[in-house]
Structure formats: structure tokens, C-alpha cells
Amino acid sequence: MKKFEYMEKYGYEQLVFFHDEATGLKGITCIHNTQLGPSLGGTRLWNYDNEDEATIDVLRLARGMTFKAAAAGLNLGGGKTVLIGDAENVKSEGYFRALGRYVQTLNGRYITAEDINVGTKDLDFVNMETDYVVGLAHKSGNPSPKTALGAFHGIRASLKAVFGSSKIEGKTFAVQGAGQTGDFLIGYLREAKAKKIYFTEINDKHIKKINEKYPDVDFVKPDDIYGLDVDVFAPCALGAVINDKTIKQLQCKIVAGTANNVPEDEEKHSQALKDKGILYAPDFVINAGGLINVYHELQGYNENNAVNDIKKIYDRLDAIYTIARDNDVHTQQAALMFAEERIKLISRVRSNFVKRG
Ligand code: NAD
């Protein structure tokens, strides 16, 4: 792939390849943009078919983090690391300590965290070698409940935009996926007196778990979740679930959940939702609760402060819906405008000389 051409087109700062002879660690760190602050993004371990596939993934994910952090009001830029390897075979203390040493060489321009196949136990090893790692078990811990909490407030903002009231009470919901985030989201919705909640799952253990915990929450088969006559469809499982096939089936007024990359084609399917009169809560805005939570580790973790910041997802979505209305654009586009505007503004604010310390 033509790496410099791609980097120039989308404004990337840095792409770093690294290899550790002792452990076989092979990885790529990408720093997309640091105008707001150090880049932050998790490390993903995946058995990529080839180096180009890994490179494209890290570039795409790092850029996504820039917009996610900017829209979340954080002083962070976007970055990401991918490791090329089979998670079943490569993981060891040495492997993750080697990763930590490479993270340290970037001298704080990039901060890592967990992602697919890299958990808090692995990060403990990374932490032995670098100061630039967050999401540690003994600090902010598992981000999933906080991601779900952010989605809950995002759903409230979306209800306000559609029905004029943010009340969960009296509204109906279809939750796709009852894993870590879906389970917590169902809990928050029940607590707020949702009128009816349906869920779907493909994992029998999780179906049993929800049936036992919440007997009033009804299971539906995976393919039946899209066509339910509910107010909110909450995707909390996979990406690309909003596509040509599913949009036709949707009866809901709002799509708002924790999943990443919800529209299969960001432009086409965000527009299709708008055309159908369905409000879409842009994924990277509504699911930023976990990121906001780990960000608080950088300033000494305090759960109350983190939760207060996570609640602001409500106001950010409110502002994004206004931009979408005023400019007659789909909400994904409005969210990008919102994030870009903040990056531009803060860069300008910081362009003068100020002596500190
Ligand atoms: P998870 O793996 O714990 O849960 C996902 C659940 O979805 C699993 O139980 C799985 O069995 C189920 N599932 C998979 N395919 C399904 C299908 N076709 N129909 C119904 N259920 C299906 O994952 P999670 O941590 O809850 O994350 C869910 C989504 O949210 C992912 O897209 C993830 O990238 C995104 N996300 C998570 C966090 C976080 O803090 N965990 C943060 C930001 C974004």
C-alpha cells in the first residue's frame, strides 16, 4: 500500500513498525493527530493475513480515535497499536513487556490501553515497562459498565430529540447483544422504568444470565430484533448491523447503542436512516464512556469525576443533533463536524505563546 499517500490524504502524523527478536512481537503503532493532546487508543492483537491488512486497520482505527476523543471533549489525540499474531500462542509476560518498551520509546506521544485479545492482565506487564498505559485493573478497571452508562445518557438525549422528553419511562427498547455492555445497559434501562425491553443473543450462557437476572426482559431470535415495533434499537454486539437488509426491517424511531461501526457503509447507511426518519446516535459519540473513564486515570482516577464527564455525552449528542438539523446533514456527518470544529478551535486557541510554570 502507498503509506505516505494515505497518510497525507487523512492527515496522519506517525506510523511506527516494531519487532522484538526475543519474543517475536511484531506490531505497528499509528499516531493520527495530537493537536488536542497525546494520542490514546488500545492495542489490538489479531492474526492478520498480511502486513497491509494490519497497516490499514491501525490507520483506520487511530483516525477513529481522534474523532472519538475530540467529540468526547477530551484533551487527547487519536492513536492505536495492532500486534500481528495468534492470540492463542503468542501471549506471554515477555511479549507484553516488550510492547511496553516500544510504547515508552514514543515518550508519551501515544498512550495504550486494552482492545481485542489484550486484557488488563496483559496490561499489567505493559505497565512494568512504560508510564503510558491506562485501563489498569487496579485503577479505572473494566470500562464496560461506563460505556453502557454513556450509552444510557445518549439514549436519553436521543429520546429528547425525537419525543421532546428524555424520559425512559414508558418507552420500549430492543437490545442486540447481552455481553458486557448490553447487560449493563439493560440494567440501567430497567432501573429507569422502561416500559418494555427485548433482547437478543447468540450465546446461550448470556441468554440464561439475562433470563435469570431480568425475567421481565424478553428474548427474541437474532433475526427478529430488527423488525420489532419499539422506540429504540440498541446495537450492543457487532458492527455493520445497519445495512441495506436491516434498514428495510426497522420500525424504531432511534438507533442508539454501544457497538462500534454500526452503519455498514458510514455515509450511505447513515443517510438511509435519516431518509427513513430514524435518529441515529453516532457510535463514536455514544460509546465513548469507556474512553472517558480511562482518560480519568491520567489525572488520578476518581469515579465521581469520571461519571460526571460520562453524563456529558447527553449534551454532546444534543449539540450534534442541533448541527444535523441546522445543516440538514445526517448525524454521523454532524458528529464529524462537531469533532473537527473542536480540534480546529483548540489548535487556534493554543497557537499563541503563553509562559507556564
Ligand atoms: P461482548 O463481547 O461482551 O458482548 C457482545 C455480545 O453480543 C456477546 O454476548 C455476543 O454473544 C453477542 N452477539 C454477537 N453476535 C450477535 C448477534 N448476531 N446477535 C445477537 N447477539 C450477538 O462485547 P461488549 O464489550 O459488550 O461490546 C459490544 C460492542 O460495543 C462491540 O461492538 C464493542 O466494540 C463496542 N464497545 C465496547 C466498549 C466496552 O467498553 N466494552 C467500548 C466501546 C465500544
| pLDDT (0 to 100) of residue 262 | 96
Residue 237 Cβ < 6 Å to ligand 1: yes
What's 264's DSSP letter?
S
Q: How far is CA 250 from the centre of its chain?
A: 23
Ligand 1 atom closest to 261 (CA): 32
Question: Would you say domain 3-62+78-127 falls under CATH 3.40.50.10860?
Answer: yes
Q: 169 forms bridges with which residues in the sheet?
A: 194
Ligand 1 atom closest to 239 (CA): 32
Level-2 CATH architecture, domain 144-288+315-340? 3-Layer(aba) Sandwich (3.40)
Residue 224 Cβ < 6 Å to ligand 1: no
Residue closest via CA to ligand 1's atom 33 equals 259
Residue closest via CA to ligand 1's atom 8 equals 179
Residue 201 Cβ < 6 Å to ligand 1: yes
Q: For a pocket test of ligand 1, which of 175, 213, 236 has the largest count of ligand atoms closer than 8 A to its C-beta?
A: 236
Ligand 1 centre to CA of 194 (Å) is: 22
Tally of CB atoms within 10 A around 325: 12
Residue 206 Cβ < 6 Å to ligand 1: yes
Residue 29 cell numbers, joined: 503503532
Give the full edge-to-edge strand order of the sheet including 218-219.
Answer: 218-219, 196-200, 172-176, 232-235, 254-255, 279-280
**Element holding 289 (H helix, E strand):** helix 289-295
Residue 309 cell numbers, joined: 464527564
Scanning the structure block, which residue is given the C-alpha cell 519487532?
19
pLDDT digits (tens, 9 = 90+) for 231-251: 999 999 999 999 999 999 999
Residue closest via CA to ligand 1's atom 30 equals 259
Alpha-carbon distance of 182 to 119, in angstroms, equals 19
Residue 200 Cβ < 6 Å to ligand 1: yes
> What's the burial of 82, exposed, middle or buried (CB within 10 Å: 0-12/13-18/19+)?
buried
Rounded to the nearest 5 degrees, what angle is found at the Cα of 285, between the Cα atoms of 280 and 287? 95
Ligand 1 centre to CA of 237 (Å) is: 3
Residue pair 90/48 in contact by the 8 Å Cβ criterion = no
Tally of CB atoms within 10 A around 2: 8
Residue 339 cell numbers, joined: 469533532
| pLDDT (0 to 100) of residue 96 | 98
Alpha-carbon distance of 225 to 257, in angstroms, equals 14
Alpha-carbon distance of 203 to 273, in angstroms, equals 29
Closest CA to 274 of 164, 162, 126, 168: 162
Residue closest via CA to ligand 1's atom 1 equals 179
Instruction: For residue 312, indicate whether it is catalytic.
Output: no
**Element holding 269 (H helix, E strand):** helix 266-275
Q: Which amino acid is at 114?
A: E
Model confidence, pTM:
0.94
Residue 117 Cβ < 6 Å to ligand 1: no
| pLDDT (0 to 100) of residue 357 | 79
- Looking at the chain, the domain(s) classified CATH 3.40.50.720 span 144-288+315-340
- Looking at the chain, the domain(s) classified CATH 3.40.50.10860 span 3-62+78-127
Scanning the structure block, which residue is given the C-alpha cell 515497562?
129
Residue closest via CA to ligand 1's atom 2 equals 179
Ligand 1 atom closest to 287 (CA): 43
Ligand 1 centre to CA of 177 (Å) is: 6
**Element holding 280 (H helix, E strand):** strand 279-280
Residue 234 Cβ < 6 Å to ligand 1: no
**Element holding 254 (H helix, E strand):** strand 254-255
Q: Which of 2, 68, 80, 344 is catalytic?
A: 80
Ligand 1 centre to CA of 341 (Å) is: 30
pLDDT digits (tens, 9 = 90+) for 282-293: 999 999 999 999
Residue closest via CA to ligand 1's atom 41 equals 144
Low-confidence ranges of the chain (pLDDT < 50): none
Residue closest via CA to ligand 1's atom 12 equals 177
| pLDDT (0 to 100) of residue 168 | 98
Ligand 1 atom closest to 283 (CA): 44
